[in-house]
């Protein structure tokens, strides 16, 4: 059973959720720290301002050891500032306490020592009532409800430019911490709500994003089962649409290739079957007619030999095309003269043209020296000229012209044969295609010559085309680049 979480959709959604979640957590943590720091800063400033005011009033009472004045001062300061006020002398001993419980005790809190020893004018700190330990800013933001945290705010009492004591405010920070806890809770709830919304939106978003990929996967599965006509819907915009267009283009090529392959197999089977059937009939006649006339027997054997040659020619051409299709046909370029290749083809065709009383007229305006595969050039020129000879009537004329046009060599082979119907012209380079099938077989052709020409021309980055009108002959034009020598 496949893992659904391994799909692209879930991966996209998980990535989306992680990005949103991590971003929100970072933002929430930053906001909480900023809020906590701001609230504590405001609290410190308020406590410090109040203490400094009462420290000024207490300076005279402490200097003259006025106990009544000190008690009244700490009582009124505690009432105003909302906390416990302790007044300490220069040795850190409590001289007055608004709670009336700590007189005579020596306090060694850091906030007191920083004024009496270090010379600071004011200080602030938060401590646990249970353990007395000081809390840092990040720990205060993790306030535990089971503990009680209080703030110690101190201000120096100055008389005649000397610190003569410390005024200390002890107040609970539970309200402040509970406020921060409430904000944390609300932000947690908000985070959960955002996370749920993000999951929902992520599912919708990932579904929309991956739907084309899912549909494409389904189409690929259909194609893998043989349905090469399956296509994806080209909708949307951007890369997804371009992907769909590219996929459908590839599918069209695959379907066309499959159809071509099937047609090729069918045509090849038919072309191979015909000479085999002919040979079978002739050989059976020889077997079952042992007293056959010697002259007729010789004729039969000659016909069998011709069919064998035809089979050999078909197989050879098929192997050539397979080699080209598999791209295993390497070009062995060498310096050659295309004009000399044309002359050589004319010489090789001389016996046939003489027998048919045909004339090959060469119009070679340039030698067209080039770098090319010589054997391929020979086959291109020979196949075109042989094809023209086959379809030119007795005493007909074949014209072969060669000229340099810009950076290309242009070879044209014209005949005065029956021409090619307009509807057949797009198919003349297809394998085994014949305009006149009966005449093609009579002439000994395999139906592969023009296809080989086209493949070899393409390998040399050239192009070949046909021009023809019925009753006015046919011209094949080849354009080949003249590579620098």
Q: How much is the pLDDT for 411?
A: 94
Q: How much is the pLDDT for 236?
A: 67
Q: How much is the pLDDT for 264?
A: 65
Tell me how long the chain is: 485
pLDDT digits (tens, 9 = 90+) for 49-70: 889 999 999 998 888 888 899 9
SS3 content of the chain, % helix, strand, coil (to 5): 55, 20, 25
What residues contact 467, with CB distance under 8 A and at least 6 apart? 474, 475, 477
The strand pairing partners of 448, in sequence order, are none
As a CATH number, domain 333-481 is: 3.30.565.10
Q: How much is the pLDDT for 213?
A: 73
Domain residue ranges of the chain, discontinuous segments joined by +: 4-194, 239-325, 333-481
Q: How far apart are CA 73 and CA 64, in angstroms?
A: 14
Q: Is the pLDDT of residue 27 over 60?
A: yes
Superfamily for domain range 4-194: PAS domain (3.30.450.20)
pLDDT digits (tens, 9 = 90+) for 77-129: 999 988 899 999 999 999 999 998 888 899 888 899 999 998 888 998 888 77
Quick one: what percent of the chain has pLDDT higher than 70? 83
* Residue among 273, 233, 272, 228 at smallest CA distance from 253: 228
Domain 4-194 matches domain 239-325 at the CATH topology level: no
Q: How much is the pLDDT for 46?
A: 87
Greatest CA separation found in the chain?
161
**Topology of domain 239-325, per CATH?**
Helix Hairpins (1.10.287)
Instruction: Decide: pTM greater than 0.85.
Output: no
Average the pLDDT over 216-230 and give the result: 79
Confidence of residue 438 (pLDDT cuts 50, 70, 90): very low
Q: How far apart are CA 166 and CA 114, in angstroms?
A: 10
pLDDT digits (tens, 9 = 90+) for 131-182: 767 665 545 445 444 567 788 999 999 988 889 999 999 988 777 777 777 8
Q: How much is the pLDDT for 147?
A: 61
pLDDT digits (tens, 9 = 90+) for 131-142: 767 665 545 445
Average the pLDDT over 442-470 and give the result: 81
DSSP 326: T
Tell me how many degrees the CA angle 158-161-162 measures, rounded to the nearest 5.
Answer: 60
Q: How far apart are CA 156 and CA 90, in angstroms?
A: 10
pLDDT digits (tens, 9 = 90+) for 334-370: 899 999 999 999 998 998 889 889 999 999 999 999 9
Q: In what order do the strands lie in the sheet with 94-97?
A: 94-97, 84-89, 162-172, 149-159, 122-128
The count of C-alpha atoms lying within 13 angstroms of the C-alpha of 318, restricted to the half-sphere facing its C-beta, is 16
């Amino acid at each position: 059973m496949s893992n659904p979480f391994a799909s692209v959709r879930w991966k996209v959604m998980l990535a989306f959720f992680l990005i949103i979640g991590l971003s929100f957590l970072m933002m929430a943590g930053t906001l909480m720290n900023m809020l906590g720091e701001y609230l504590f800063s405001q609290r410190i400033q308020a406590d410090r301002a109040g203490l400094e005011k009462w420290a000024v009033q207490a300076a005279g009472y402490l200097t003259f050891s006025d106990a009544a004045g000190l008690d009244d001062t700490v009582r009124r300061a505690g009432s105003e500032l909302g906390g416990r006020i302790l007044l300490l002398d220069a040795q850190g001993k409590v001289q007055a306490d608004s709670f009336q419980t700590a007189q005579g005790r020596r306090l060694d809190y850091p906030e007191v020592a920083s004024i009496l020893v270090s010379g600071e004018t004011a200080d602030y700190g938060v401590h646990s009532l249970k353990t007395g330990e000081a809390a840092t800013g990040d720990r205060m933001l993790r306030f535990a409800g089971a503990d009680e945290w209080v703030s110690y705010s101190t201000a120096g009492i100055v008389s005649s430019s000397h610190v003569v004591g410390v005024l200390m405010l002890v107040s609970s920070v539970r309200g402040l911490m509970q406020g921060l806890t409430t904000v944390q809770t609300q932000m947690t709830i908000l985070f959960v709500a955002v996370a749920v919304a993000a999951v929902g939106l992520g599912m919708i978003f990932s579904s929309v994003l991956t739907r084309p990929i899912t549909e494409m996967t389904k189409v690929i599965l259909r194609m893998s089962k043989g349905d090469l006509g399956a296509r994806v819907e080209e909708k949307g915009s951007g890369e997804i649409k371009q992907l769909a267009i590219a996929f459908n283009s590839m599918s069209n090529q695959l379907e066309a290739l499959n159809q071509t392959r099937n047609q090729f197999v069918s045509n090849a089977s038919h072309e191979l079957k015909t000479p085999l059937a002919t040979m079978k009939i002739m050989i059976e006649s020889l077997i079952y007619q042992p007293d056959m006339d010697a002259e007729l027997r010789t004729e039969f054997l000659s016909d069998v030999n011709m069919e064998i040659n035809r089979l050999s020619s078909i197989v050879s051409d098929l192997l050539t095309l397979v080699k080209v299709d598999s791209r295993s046909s390497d070009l062995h370029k060498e310096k050659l003269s295309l004009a000399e290749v044309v002359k050589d083809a004319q010489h090789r065709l001389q016996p046939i043209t003489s027998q048919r009383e045909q004339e090959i007229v060469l119009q070679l305006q340039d030698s067209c020296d080039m770098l090319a595969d010589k054997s391929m050039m020979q086959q291109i020129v020979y196949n075109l000229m042989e094809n023209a000879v086959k379809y030119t009537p007795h005493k007909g004329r074949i014209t072969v012209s060669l000229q340099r046009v810009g950076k290309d060599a242009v070879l044209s082979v014209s005949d005065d044969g029956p021409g090619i119907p307009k509807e057949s012209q797009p198919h003349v380079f297809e394998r085994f295609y014949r305009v006149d099938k009966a005449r093609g077989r009579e002439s000994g052709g395999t139906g592969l010559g023009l296809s080989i020409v086209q493949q070899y021309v393409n390998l040399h980055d050239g192009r070949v085309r046909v021009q023809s009108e019925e009753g006015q002959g046919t011209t094949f034009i080849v354009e080949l680049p003249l590579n620098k020598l």
